[in-house]
Structure 1
């Protein structure tokens, strides 16, 4: 039987799945378990994106040291493919590692560079954990591309060996990944059938997002989700096509979301899938950091504003650490803000500034409306 949802019900499901209710997660580990992963990204206009994702769920009690402790000491978390994941999920990735890489070009490059691989494994075995900068490049054939990966042989090989399960990220030093033998980082995990593990990964991802289009490999290229045959089939009023919804999320689909206001990273999973964002939330968003300044509508790293189950605007803010200020240059309203909503947005900005150890300032501060 196909579940018939209103767009409001679908939004509630999506917001709850991403742990953005007033009663949020308990701690960092609980957050990552519920989200399945938090993406690591070096851009830090306000703070690193992963930190903003955690802050938006945990508030000022979030301490980045808790992430480092989970990754490097307690081993309750692991980093794979620039994504922080719960160690509970490692067993779901191990089967795919046995058959990696999927592309012939990468397989051929690894085959011709077998001496290079041996050199790296011997060095890491004896001296690891090591950053890439301390590993010599002995590639027989360089990695060739038209982009930033061209001739970056050491990093390409390390990432290949990570995806194969030979090496693992043991921690970070000044933001740079430290590489070690996987057996010294990962615990022993159950040996799952690859098809079973893949299905479980898809089910976990659907649960973390609540509702998705029914299709093969939906989502970002680095983390595809095959939604066919998982969850419950659904339709969303006013939208064409088939959807899949997490069965557990249906129990509260009619229960209103408390009108908590949250500022989100542009890479937050609630807003990352732009077509889904437009369909369910009727929210237009483009990350404009790659655009020339005079072509930006909302700002370099404009943070979407979530209010209850609606996305209502964007905040153009930058952390000016030199002057100790969280600079708020604009608050863009997608719909007219009430006085209470203006107060709630500035309350979140005050909280963000306090967590960063900055004072709040900028052109938009003190204005009743930013438009």
Structure 2
């Protein structure tokens, strides 16, 4: 367990009494002063940054222990790690873990997913690696996906008006013959041109449908291609899980989200897992605050505006934790700390846009830009690319924030790039792109 976990709290997952469920939200205002209600605690931007960085494993130096137990513990602490196919440096999930662990090896995550199977792959706000102990709370999502798929034209175009026969055949094929890749269906179609029913688009759509609705799981990956198998074979312990009732699920989703954020608005809590609507998050926050389980606060933004929010009861210790600032950290575009661009702008004063899908001529900075974190501030950004043929990291930039870019900053950036090249196994190190914008 890494040192960043010290002081991390746990929000109780209560079941709220019926009489409190419709209680009005009460935030402090001068008109309430006569009722002797104290004003909510004001959380300054630096405090909210420190709380978030501590909860997300970035307030301490990178951990030295990066074995399976440490990696599993970190993923549970983060809640999930996003998976992405872009490989200009390394897959996003590995970069996120690299940032928090010296010596992290991708085979460690593969072992946890495919051998020990203590993690599973599914969706949060996007495709993610998730602790298996949370699987029960994905049952409502499986059901929602089934409802959505039935109503969406994209799926109907690929599965047909009555998809049940196709889904049954794909599921039977896996049950009888074992794990299956989408490519296997394509190859069968080619070998049996004009065959009875296989078609690449319907077959692949059927696999995705069965996975998104929980009947299939990801047993492994061939490169980055999914290998599907029956959920009861991949994660047999989940077979006895029952779908939690709505109150229990709401309490879990909100409590676990706030525990990982430390301080947040109801909107940020609802968006963390993408498991509940905003109205449910607002109701839970109101009820939990009335029960004294969380604290109403005012979150100050860098422009001076203040927004109502909520904090865990132990967030004060996180706010006092001065983050490690000996070196720079280079964050993946999918790192959980920068995932919420609005929060990144309002509390860090750093505007970031992922430009991989922006036409090259319209990009402001680059294809896969990494923000540079120093302590609790973002001080600049770079656009690196791993040239695997030359075995070297090519780097465009840097683009410094106002007041940054002195010799000390440049030395720290050089060190961070040395570490990145070493982590990626770039034997020829790194160099600045000659056409870089500085």
Correspondences of 1:248-267 after superposition (within 5 Å): 248-259=314-325, 260-267=327-334
Relative distance call for 1:18 and 1:235 in structure 2 (3 A) is: same
Instruction: Determine if contact 1:13/1:211 at 8 Å carries over to the other structure.
Output: yes
Instruction: Please name the residue that 1:235 is paired with.
Output: 298
Two-structure CA RMSD over aligned residues (Å): 2.9
Match of 1:62 among 96, 104, 111: 104
Cα deviation 1:317-340 (Å, max 9, x = unaligned): 100010011011211101313433
**Comparing 65-74 with 342-351, which one deviates more in the overlay?**
342-351
1:156 and 1:194 map into 2 onto residues whose CA distance is: 30
Instruction: Please name the residue that 1:337 is paired with.
Output: 405
Correspondences of 1:63-102 after superposition (within 5 Å): 63-81=105-123, 82-98=127-143, 100-102=145-147
Instruction: Please name the residue that 1:194 is paired with.
Output: 245
Match of 1:293 among 340, 360, 374: 360
Alpha-carbon offset, residue 363 of structure 1: 2.7
Alpha-carbon offset, residue 223 of structure 1: 5.9
Normalising by structure 2, what TM-score?
0.74
Query: Structure 2 regions of 5+ residues with no counterpart?
Result: 1-38, 190-194, 286-293
Alpha-carbon offset, residue 92 of structure 1: 2.1
Instruction: Please name the residue that 1:362 is paired with.
Output: 431
Relative distance call for 1:133 and 1:42 in structure 2 (3 A) is: same
Instruction: Please name the residue that 1:49 is paired with.
Output: 92
Normalising by structure 1, what TM-score?
0.87
Alpha-carbon offset, residue 23 of structure 1: 4.3
Bigger Cα Rg: 2
Query: Structure 1 regions of 5+ residues with no counterpart?
Result: 143-150
**Comparing 191-200 with 280-289, which one deviates more in the overlay?**
191-200
Instruction: Please name the residue that 2:41 is paired with.
Output: 3
Stretches (4+) displaced over 6 A: 136-140
Relative distance call for 1:116 and 1:248 in structure 2 (3 A) is: farther
Alpha-carbon offset, residue 225 of structure 1: 6.8
Correspondences of 1:1-371 after superposition (within 5 Å): 2-24=40-62, 26=65, 27-59=70-102, 61-81=103-123, 82-98=127-143, 100-103=145-148, 104-106=150-152, 109=156, 112-135=162-185, 152-189=201-238, 190-191=241-242, 193-195=244-246, 196-215=248-267, 218-219=270-271, 226=278, 227-228=281-282, 229-230=284-285, 231-237=294-300, 238-259=304-325, 260-335=327-402, 336-358=404-426, 359-363=428-432, 371=438
